Amino acid sequence: MNNQLARIDAFNRALIGFDQIFDAMERRYGNSVNNNYPPHNIIKTGENQYEIQIAVTGFEKSEISVSVESNVLTVKGEGQESIRHENPEIVYLHRGLATRDFAREFPLAEHIEVSGAEIKNGMLIVKLIRNVPESEKPRVIDIVEVK
């Protein structure tokens, strides 16, 4: 039990500066029925690396855009439904894969930069890195003894 508490405490310390972002995202998007598509994950992959994984099954690369403006990451999917289903002989008996247009916004914490994006196995992976300038990192000040 103490081990679990230590992990939670370490996790909370690791999220300083980010916990507010996740809380704000939850408040902004968590209670909205219209904003739960497409499903996504936010994960920490390293000390200063993060990923947002968004399910984009059914979308072509050309139908997805990723942009950053004023510390807000915006991911849009604008499908071309008529192009996707040109074959009139295809009749859907069940359609469980949604391909409707979407726009998701993720507010970014200070010093968070988007380092890239890729599509792999139907998932859009947006890679983020926390890049704190040297001038803002904590420094240890040497204490000099004067005689």
- The CATH number covering residue 49 comes to 2.60.40.790
Q: Does residue 141 fall inside a structural domain?
A: no
Q: Does residue 147 fall inside a structural domain?
A: no
- pLDDT tens profile 99-120: 788 999 999 988 899 999 999 9
Give the separation between CA 81 and CA 63, rounded to whole angstroms: 11
Confidence of residue 8 (pLDDT cuts 50, 70, 90): low
Q: Does residue 70 fall inside a structural domain?
A: yes
- Tell me if 98 sits within 8 A of 58, measured CB to CB: yes
Q: What is the pLDDT of residue 33?
A: 46
Residue 6 lies in domain: 2-133
Between 139 and 53, whose confidence is greater?
53
Q: Does residue 58 fall inside a structural domain?
A: yes
Q: Is the pLDDT of residue 95 over 80?
A: no
| φ and ψ of 9, to 5 deg | -65, -45
Q: Say which amino acid occupies 109.
A: A
- pLDDT tens profile 30-73: 544 456 789 999 999 998 899 999 999 888 899 999 999 998 99
The total number of structural domains that make up the chain:
1
Q: Say which amino acid occupies 122.
A: G
Q: Does residue 139 fall inside a structural domain?
A: no
Q: What angle do CA 70, 71, 75 make, to 5 degrees?
A: 100
